[in-house]
Structure 1
Amino acid sequence: MCGRLSQYRGIHEFVETLGMPDAWRNDVGDKPLLRYNIAPGTPVALLRWEAADLVKWGWRPHWATGPVTSINARAEKVAHGPYFRSIWPHRAVVPVDGWFEWVDEGATKKQPYFIRRRDGHPSLCAAIGEFYGNERDGFVIITADAQGGMVDVHDRRPVVLSAQLAVAWMAPDLPSLAAEQMALSQGEPAERFEWYRVSMAVGNARNQGAELIQPIP
C-alpha cells in the first residue's frame, strides 16, 4: 500500500466529517490543502486527540540503523513488534481524499490507480507516530490485507475507519487491545471504495493539480 496520498480539502472539512468541529487546535490553517500528490517524507495533515498538525509521513525508531524509513505498519504485527512499540500508544487519524496504487498490467510502466470512498467522504486512515514537536516527529499508516476487488489493485490497504471509530481510535484512554482489534478487523470494507486508472503524471511527485485524480480510459 500506498506510496502517494491526496489531500485537497481544507482541514475543517476533514474535521467536520468526525462530528467534532470545535475539538481541535488547528495548526494546519483554514485554506484548502490542494495537495493532490503527496509523497513520503513530506508533511501531511493529520488529526490527533488535541490538535490538527502537519507531520512528516515516515518514521523509524532512534535505534534503527540504515536508510530505511517506514511509511506503513502492518496491522497484524504493529501492536506487538519491537519496531513500533514506542509509538503504538500514540494514535492519530490521517484524513485523505484518496490514495494511489500502481498495478502491473503488462505495459512498460505500471499503471497508477486512484482509490477513494464511493460516498465522497474522506477516508479516515488509522495511524501512529511520534508527536513531540522535534525533528524526530513522523507517522506511519496502518495497513491490512486488501479485500474483494481491491486485491486486484494491491494486496494491502490502509485501515480506513468510520467517523465514530476514528474518534475512538484517537482517544487517549482507548485500551491497547481494543485499538489492536480495531486495526485488525474494523476497517471499512472494500465495497465502500471505488478505483480507476489515472494519468502516469502522478509518478512524478513534483506534479500537482486536480487533473491527477481524473479518470482516464
Structure 2
Amino acid sequence: MCGRIVQASPSELLALGLVIGEGLQAGAGQPRFNGAPGQELGVVRRHPQTGRYHLDRLLWGLVPFWLADPTGGRRPINAKAETVRTLPSFREAYARRRCLLPVDGFFEWQQMGRGAKRPHAITMRDRAPFALAGLWENWRHPETGTWIRTFCVLTSEANSLISAIHHRMPVIIPPRAYVRWLSGEADPADLLASFPADAMALWPVSTRVNSPANDDAALLDPAADAVVEDRLL
C-alpha cells in the first residue's frame, strides 16, 4: 500500500535530471508534505516521440483510457507488481506508459488493534530523494475533448524494515534504472523487487498526517514517544 507521499525537495528534479542525463522540462507545482490521492503531483514521463523527459502534474488515481465515464468505477492509487502485467486496468500502461514519482518519503500505517492505526514516515537513510515506480494514463472526454491525465504507484511485498508495520511497500526504482524504467522495454520485471531495507529509515509520526488538510514539514517530526533505534531513525 502507498497512500501518502512527501514531494517537497527541489533536489528531486536535479537528482532525476542528472541521472537521466539531461535537464527536465518541469511544470510548476506546490511542495507537498502530505500528498494524497486525488491531488496533482509531479510525475516524470518520457515523451514517446521526442524522447525528452518531462515533470508534469498528474492526478493520483488511475483512470484507464478505455473507461466510459471517469466518475464511475474505481480509480486505483496502487497496482500490485505481481499482477500488473495481466490485469486489464494496468497491462497496457505497464507496457507503454511507465513513469517515476519523485519523493522525499512516504507514510504508512501500522495496525495497532481495535481499529487504531499508527502512522510512520519512511525515507532513505541519508534523506536523499528517490523515485517510486508508477503508471500513467490519458482519458479524453468524448464530448468536450478535455484530457484527464492520471497515475498510480506500483507496490510489492514489504522488505524486512517495512514488514514490521505493513505487508506492502511501493516499488522503488534505483537511479541506475531510471532510464530503463522510462524506456520502451515491454516488461522490465526484474525492477519490481522490494528495495533493500538497509538503505531506508522508518519512524512513528503524529496522527496529524491522517488528514490531508495538514500539509507541513512538521508531519515528518518523530512522534513524542518514538523509540530511536539505529535502523529506524
Q: Normalised by the size of structure 1, how large is the TM-score?
A: 0.87
What is the DSSP-based 3-state SS (H/G/I as helix, E as strand, rest coil) of the residue aligned with 2:12? helix
Residue 149 (structure 2) pairs with residue 137 (structure 1): yes
Check whether the contact 1:17–1:121 (CA below 8 A) recurs between aligned residues.
no
Q: Normalised by the size of structure 2, how large is the TM-score?
A: 0.81
Aligned residue in 1 for 2:230: none
Q: Given the alignment, which residue of 1, 6, 16 partners 2:14?
A: 16
Matches for 1:31-42 after TM superposition, within 5 Å? 33-42=30-39
Code of the residue aligned with 1:28 in structure 2: it is A
* CA distance in structure 2 between the partners assigned to 1:108 and 1:59 by the alignment: 28
* CA distance in structure 2 between the partners assigned to 1:203 and 1:55 by the alignment: 22
Instruction: Assess, with a 3 A threshold, how the Cα gap between structure 1 residues 132 and 68 changes in structure 2: closer, same or farther.
Output: closer
Aligned residue in 1 for 2:186: 176
Per-residue CA deviation, residues 18-44 of structure 1 (Å, 9 max, x unaligned), is 324743211236xxx431011101101
Check whether the contact 1:126–1:166 (CA below 8 A) recurs between aligned residues.
no
Matches for 1:14-93 after TM superposition, within 5 Å? 14-18=12-16, 19=18, 20=20, 22-28=22-28, 33-49=30-46, 50-61=53-64, 62-63=66-67, 66-88=72-94, 89-93=96-100
How far off its partner does 1:200 sit? 0.6
Code of the residue aligned with 2:14 in structure 1: it is E
What is the DSSP-based 3-state SS (H/G/I as helix, E as strand, rest coil) of the residue aligned with 1:126? strand
Task: Give the number of the structure whose alpha-carbon radius of gyration is greater.
Answer: 2
Code of the residue aligned with 1:69 in structure 2: it is R
Deviates more, 1:105-114 or 1:92-101: 105-114
* CA distance in structure 2 between the partners assigned to 1:55 and 1:34 by the alignment: 14
Check whether the contact 1:15–1:21 (CA below 8 A) recurs between aligned residues.
no
Q: Given the alignment, which residue of 197, 209, 215 partners 1:190?
A: 197
How far off its partner does 1:131 sit? 4.6
* CA distance in structure 2 between the partners assigned to 1:152 and 1:72 by the alignment: 20
How far off its partner does 1:46 sit? 1.1
What is the DSSP-based 3-state SS (H/G/I as helix, E as strand, rest coil) of the residue aligned with 2:90? coil
Check whether the contact 2:122–2:200 (CA below 8 A) recurs between aligned residues.
yes
The list of structure 1 runs, each at least 4 consecutive aligned residues, that deviate by more than 6 angstroms after superposition, is none
Q: Which has the higher strand share?
A: 2
Check whether the contact 2:105–2:124 (CA below 8 A) recurs between aligned residues.
yes
What is the DSSP-based 3-state SS (H/G/I as helix, E as strand, rest coil) of the residue aligned with 2:161? helix
Q: CA RMSD in A?
A: 2.1
Instruction: Assess, with a 3 A threshold, how the Cα gap between structure 1 residues 95 and 110 changes in structure 2: closer, same or farther.
Output: same
Check whether the contact 2:63–2:138 (CA below 8 A) recurs between aligned residues.
no
What is the DSSP-based 3-state SS (H/G/I as helix, E as strand, rest coil) of the residue aligned with 2:148? coil
Code of the residue aligned with 2:26 in structure 1: it is N
Across the two proteins, how many residue pairs are aligned to each other?
Answer: 207
How far off its partner does 1:106 sit? 3.4
